[in-house]
Structure 1
Amino acid sequence: MFSKAFLICLFMPFALMVMGQEGNDVLARKVTLNIRETSIEDILKQIETEDFAFTYSAEIFDVKKRISINVKDETIGSVLDILFRGQGMECQQLGNKLLIRKKRVPKETVSKSDTTKKEIASALPVKPIVQKVEPSVVEKEREETPVTEPKNEKVTPIIATQRSDSAIGNSTPSSEASGSELENARTEYYQIERKQTEAIVAAYKNHELAPLLFVPIYDIHPRSLLPIEFKGEIAAEEAPKKVKEPKPEKPAKDNKFRINLAPSVGYTEIGNRDAILLGGQLAYNPNKSFGLGVAGKAFITRAEPDAHLGADYSYSGGYGGLLLEATLFPNKPFHLSFPVIFGLGEIMYNSLQPITGLNTIEDRRTVFVFEPGAYLEMNVIKYLRIGFGATYRDASSANLKYSSTEQPIMDKNGLDGLSINVMLKFGIF
């Protein structure tokens, strides 16, 4: 009894350890995961618990590869198969560690049949060994031997016997047939083959080929040749197709509505007197470079005493008409504009009493005015521009005269002259 109790106490820890190992199959544990776009390394960390951990090298697989997985009550082994699908990995449990490594490829086992085939191949002759025979003996054999079909009855049994023996397991063909017999059989076999070849050559030695086609030979004039109809297909290289160059795209039509109102003030000389010009224009621009509209200006000179009339008189009047305007570099912050005015106007020689408001007109004339100009404009804000420029006024005859004596007050070119202007443009450009 003592010995049995001692043995039970001795083997009990070992049995419990074995049972613990069998019951502690980590790969059979079930887990539930619902993870999206997470690296394999992080997924393994989430599967680990306090009683086991994964062991691996980051160089054998892509630990940063992101995977989405959604499983419920699935074994850890199945989850690892999903994570490492297509990467050739396996997992082995070593105590409380799960080792992840590359799958080991089992060594190929060579079957007995393959060994037999290799032995048969090694037993077959690689190079025939032919004994040297004197020329006289060969000539006698040719004379004595008639041309008949070869008989392979002697060679075939020996080779067949050799193959059957090697297939059974004999590594050398000399188990039943000696080396000299095998060599003699080979020599006889090649002699028979040679005789067959010589017989075939002798049978066709005196054979002549019959003419297959008779072609008459005579002179043919080149012009009498007729074209031969060809019904086949001619393989020719296709000419490269011309690639059509894309046509330049036409600029899109500018349908934006543009309009501007521009008051101006300037200085000029009329009849050798300083004068002030007050004007304005209203223009429509179908595009940024051209404008069409109307414009007008009014002027008045300083009043000077007239000894003939005994009062202070000045020149005053105005003109207006069609406006044409061209603009260079309209998209630049600084640009040039060239307005031209075609219109009619009036000039008069008068005396205005500021207190009483009495206006005494000595003479007046209607004139035709042509006034080109040039301005340097600057964009201030989106809807405002300011311009500085000059215009030249060319008017028709403006010869004013005294009503009583018909003496000239102003000659015919008295209204012509240069003016300096400042202009503000308000509008949509």
Structure 2
Amino acid sequence: MNQIKITLALFLLGFSFCVNAQESGEYIEFNDRKNTVHGVYMGLATYYGKMHKKDTYAAGFKVAYVANQQFEVGLEAVGLYSDINRLGISDNDNDLVGAYGGIHLEPILFSKSILNLSFPLLIGGGAIGILEGDIDDYVVEDDSWEAVFVLEPGINLLFNINRYVQLEAGVKHRFSSRLSFDDFPLSRIDGFSAGIGVKIGVFNMGRNRYKKSGL
């Protein structure tokens, strides 16, 4: 089985080299480092969802390394806001805010096509707080903050504009550890959300170009 895999890999490598050599005019293109294409990027995204039937907004930032356009690993940070009020008590003006971050993992399918399908996963933690009062006069007490662990899987559709820019759109579900606020009946921040984002970087920096005359 290993011999078959090695033979197939060598065949694909040779085929790719021949195709690139035929299509290029002045240059021959090939991938170095055992045909692995490396990439890095920074990404921004915004999400909208529901938490206990209340509007919830989130913004995310991530930096990641992309291995062979098939798997991402990096770091991600998310800011969260929800006008949650006191879960049904309308005479109390309370907002939920929070921030969490951790490891970002994302396997990618159909990576050689313009459209890709991916399955991002965030594993990390942060803090959730309850803001009490009017927007111009918030009061934040020490016991209004709780540490939280977050697991956030999702599914994305990726659109490759070019070698440097990629758009994403998808949905995800946030699972959290249990919270225990003293005066607020909120046990978790679980919920679905949908959003869009952009990634900017170099997604195939392993590609090199050499003039024919230099060979």
TM-score (normalizing by structure 1): 0.38
Pick 1 or 2: higher relative contact order, CA cutoff 8 A, min separation 6: 2
Contact preservation (8 Å) 1:345, 1:368: yes
Contact preservation (8 Å) 2:86, 2:185: no
CA displacement at 1:301 relative to structure 2: 1.1
**Aligned counterpart in structure 1 of residue 96 of structure 2, from 304, 308, 315:** 315
Distance 1:306 1:386 in 2: 36
Judged with a 3 Å threshold, the aligned counterparts in structure 2 of structure 1 residues 280 and 307 are, in CA distance, closer, same or farther, namely closer
Partner of 1:272: 53
Does 2:194 match 1:420? yes
**Aligned counterpart in structure 1 of residue 185 of structure 2, from 409, 424, 429:** 409
**Aligned counterpart in structure 2 of residue 370 of structure 1, from 147, 151, 155:** 151
**Aligned counterpart in structure 1 of residue 171 of structure 2, from 390, 396, 399:** 390
CA displacement at 1:334 relative to structure 2: 0.7
Distance 1:266 1:308 in 2: 26
Distance 1:354 1:314 in 2: 9
Distance 1:348 1:374 in 2: 28
Partner of 1:168: none
**Aligned counterpart in structure 1 of residue 181 of structure 2, from 393, 400, 404:** 400
Judged with a 3 Å threshold, the aligned counterparts in structure 2 of structure 1 residues 312 and 323 are, in CA distance, closer, same or farther, namely same
CA displacement at 1:341 relative to structure 2: 0.6
CA displacement at 1:386 relative to structure 2: 1.1
CA displacement at 1:283 relative to structure 2: 0.5
Between Structure 1 and Structure 2, whose CA radius of gyration is higher?
1
Contact preservation (8 Å) 1:378, 1:387: yes
Distance 2:59 2:161 in 1: 22
Higher helix share: 1
Judged with a 3 Å threshold, the aligned counterparts in structure 2 of structure 1 residues 301 and 342 are, in CA distance, closer, same or farther, namely same
Structure 1 vs Structure 2 CA RMSD:
2.5
Unmatched 5+ stretches in structure 2:
1-6, 14-31, 204-215
CA displacement at 1:374 relative to structure 2: 0.6
Distance 1:280 1:248 in 2: 39
CA displacement at 1:364 relative to structure 2: 2.1
Unmatched 5+ stretches in structure 1:
1-246, 403-407
Helix, strand or coil at the partner of 2:112: coil
Higher strand share: 2
Percent of aligned pairs with the same amino acid: 25
Partner of 1:380: 161
Distance 2:88 2:192 in 1: 29
Contact preservation (8 Å) 1:352, 1:360: no
CA displacement at 1:269 relative to structure 2: 1.9
Distance 1:360 1:374 in 2: 35
CA displacement at 1:377 relative to structure 2: 0.9
Contact preservation (8 Å) 1:306, 1:312: no
Helix, strand or coil at the partner of 2:136: coil
Judged with a 3 Å threshold, the aligned counterparts in structure 2 of structure 1 residues 352 and 257 are, in CA distance, closer, same or farther, namely farther
CA displacement at 1:400 relative to structure 2: 2.2
Partner of 1:293: 74
Correspondence list, 1:200-219, <5 A? none
CA displacement at 1:272 relative to structure 2: 3.1
Judged with a 3 Å threshold, the aligned counterparts in structure 2 of structure 1 residues 378 and 399 are, in CA distance, closer, same or farther, namely same
Code of the residue aligned with 2:140 in structure 1: it is T
Contact preservation (8 Å) 1:288, 1:330: yes
CA displacement at 1:329 relative to structure 2: 0.9
CA displacement at 1:310 relative to structure 2: 6.4
Code of the residue aligned with 1:271 in structure 2: it is H
For 1:159-217, what per-residue CA distance to the aligned partner results, in whole angstroms no more than 9, with x for missing partners? xxxxxxxxxxxxxxxxxxxxxxxxxxxxxxxxxxxxxxxxxxxxxxxxxxxxxxxxxxx
For 1:261-310, what per-residue CA distance to the aligned partner results, in whole angstroms no more than 9, with x for missing partners? 11110112223321111112111013210111001211111264799896
For 1:136-171, what per-residue CA distance to the aligned partner results, in whole angstroms no more than 9, with x for missing partners? xxxxxxxxxxxxxxxxxxxxxxxxxxxxxxxxxxxx
How many correspondences in the alignment?
A: 175
Distance 2:125 2:39 in 1: 27
For 1:301-345, what per-residue CA distance to the aligned partner results, in whole angstroms no more than 9, with x for missing partners? 126479989651111112110111111111101111111110012
Code of the residue aligned with 1:419 in structure 2: it is S
Does 2:140 match 1:360? yes
CA displacement at 1:380 relative to structure 2: 2.0
Partner of 1:179: none
